[in-house]
Structure 1
């Protein structure tokens, strides 16, 4: 029995390697795969046949001949199934439906006036059902769901605490899995954002990066050696609560002078409320004023950029990352923050540390978390040797 089990495990691993090779290097032939991964041609041919039968790989016609018969080229079928990614934010939730390569097919923003778990869960259910009704033809339908939450999420997918939503000990997984299946992934939104930018955005070439999600608060996802660093309790990345001003403003965490009290979107809006006491400007309006040359708006964004640079210099000194990617809402003002931010990093970080550390704004804009969340069920789905088995109890089955 052990020999059989080992053979099944080896076959599963080899099939995953073959599929990953096709995904990363497509289009390519069976001979190309054999040469790339070192498996013999007969084994590769057998595994490719199974992947074709599973609708994950398609043949797309002949390639160039190297002297003999023209080889048949293979292509990953990104439309074999779809995934849903959801970013729960403080004022709304952003949902995307993507194919198996992360291309967005549908997108929806749902305003949230009621932040109770029951209401948010109902909005998530409605959104998934709406996506399902407009789903393109595919063998597997919706293969899974990923959700990013602005708070602490433990290794059992429970939301331990999300202060900006006033959530404590909320079990989203149990509430949704019975209807939408077990391929359901719930994570901190900055972790999901880091994965999104690593897979699809600014961090594709970086093995060591920090993704900063800067909205009402500041959180981070940290990738080391190409893998997400989670910390002992799955709670790594709360950089918004490092102290940058000993006697600074009181933070919601109870501390004073946390970075997010000085450099977040909320910090910017609180300062704007004092500068424009007769109006309530939002981030987009402040950006518009600054781009029009309004002195108070220009100065305000310069101040926020400098305060942002203080925390970034600390991260450069402590972690010496290859790349820091700034995402979420504050990235919308990236061009207006950049000069003051980079000056501050230059002045406050160690020269040897910053020499190979870059700073960029998210390529995916405000979609980083939603796309990273969607990638989690895709990864799980494609890791199964038989996708048909992975679909038992899947989201599509319950819709």
Structure 2
């Protein structure tokens, strides 16, 4: 989009002003908030923690410069503020065990483009990084812009990221995952001067659900991603809670049975040994051992059968949901979330998981969580498998990076 005088603003220039004044910082903060999601001035003030007067002043200034477009609504503060004549694009990436998903979106649009390939961290850093860079380039081109307009990249990976340094603090020792070096610099050759913001993929999925999904307007949100493994992201007031070393949210390694099966982390009886995707598939295959049947080879296939008439698959999913519900009750007794969202592959099972997990949660958590008009509840992810990449895109876009 161009202004009446033909000028098109560059998002990277708008966000990289060298001024560190409070006024300039507030301006960038409001600009980033609207790039993430068009909103009213009241909503912008709430999300940025700025006063209504400060937001109003910034909006008026940027509207005059045609950076913002203000439409409709009752009164100035009820009007919808969106990006106007600005050229820029942001990217979000989720690297799973065996799935790589990339999402991109122009900052002046609400339409997100995405692509998925069926390999991930298990194929090695060089392989998925090369494929990821090409996917970003292709998707950016599909928006009509070039990589010179790329504002930021959010990178969600299955590892703990130190919240202070942005470096990897832990990868499961038992897994031969080639996650070496510094994640913020992994794409420096392909996208020079573009900030890369890494975090655990579950944290980004939680953030995506907070911004775009069921977690909007919720004070405390726990997002549980259950696929090949199981992890979680926890937000309070829109802030990701990472812990001292970035290890918060490792619900998959909550001990359910001290004498249970050994887990890849080295402990015994972890939740992941009961509900991890590979373990669930193994349970079904053992049940049908010796019978001539077409057996499920993946969690996705198992869930499809569970939604059909396969009683073994349905019961395996139900027992997994019970175990998840028990783990959530233990976690909820500590953090008391407003909302628990279940995503990942197992989240696709919908009511087959949500129903039993909710019943087990209510049976084992403190009664006070359910004895009022706004009880703790469990919902299926509103964003599905795009919660992670969309959250990564939004979070990285929201980080204020100043040139050195």
Q: Could you state the TM-score of these two structures normalised by the residue count of structure 2?
A: 0.79
Q: Quote the residue 1:3 is aligned against.
A: none
Does the 8 Å contact 1:102/1:200 carry over to 2?
no
Deviations 1:95-122 (A, max 9, x none): 1112338834321112227621111111
Name the count of aligned residue pairs. Answer: 362
Q: Quote the residue 1:272 is aligned against.
A: 284
Alignment of 1:122-137 (within 5 A): 122-137=130-145
Partner Cα separation in structure 1 for residue 273 and residue 234 of structure 2: 21
Question: Where do 5+ consecutive residues of structure 1 fail to align?
Answer: 1-6, 29-35, 385-389, 394-399
Partner Cα separation in structure 2 for residue 151 and residue 174 of structure 1: 16
Alignment of 1:1-399 (within 5 A): 9-16=21-28, 19=31, 20=33, 23-25=38-40, 37-38=52-53, 44=57, 48-50=60-62, 52-53=64-65, 56-58=67-69, 75-77=81-83, 80-100=87-107, 103-112=110-119, 115-137=123-145, 141-155=149-163, 156-163=165-172, 166-180=177-191, 181-277=193-289, 279-355=295-371, 356-380=375-399, 383=400
What is the Cα deviation at residue 63 of structure 1? 8.0
Secondary structure (helix, strand or coil) at the match of 2:378 reads strand
Which runs of 4 or more aligned residues in structure 1 lie more than 6 Å from their structure 2 counterparts after TM superposition? none
Structure with more of its chain in helix, by fraction: 1
Secondary structure (helix, strand or coil) at the match of 2:231 reads strand
Deviations 1:339-375 (A, max 9, x none): 3222211221121134431111110001111011101
What is the Cα deviation at residue 9 of structure 1? 1.6
**Relative to structure 1, is the Cα distance of residues 233 and 320 closer, same or farther in structure 2, using a 3 angstrom cutoff?**
same
Does the 8 Å contact 2:73/2:80 carry over to 1?
no
Does the 8 Å contact 2:354/2:380 carry over to 1?
no
Does the 8 Å contact 1:57/1:74 carry over to 2?
no
Question: Where do 5+ consecutive residues of structure 2 fail to align?
Answer: 1-18, 44-50
**Relative to structure 1, is the Cα distance of residues 140 and 116 closer, same or farther in structure 2, using a 3 angstrom cutoff?**
closer
Superposition RMSD on alpha carbons, in Å? 3.3
Partner Cα separation in structure 1 for residue 236 and residue 309 of structure 2: 40
**Relative to structure 1, is the Cα distance of residues 25 and 251 closer, same or farther in structure 2, using a 3 angstrom cutoff?**
same
The structure with the larger Rg is 1
Partner Cα separation in structure 1 for residue 20 and residue 162 of structure 2: 32
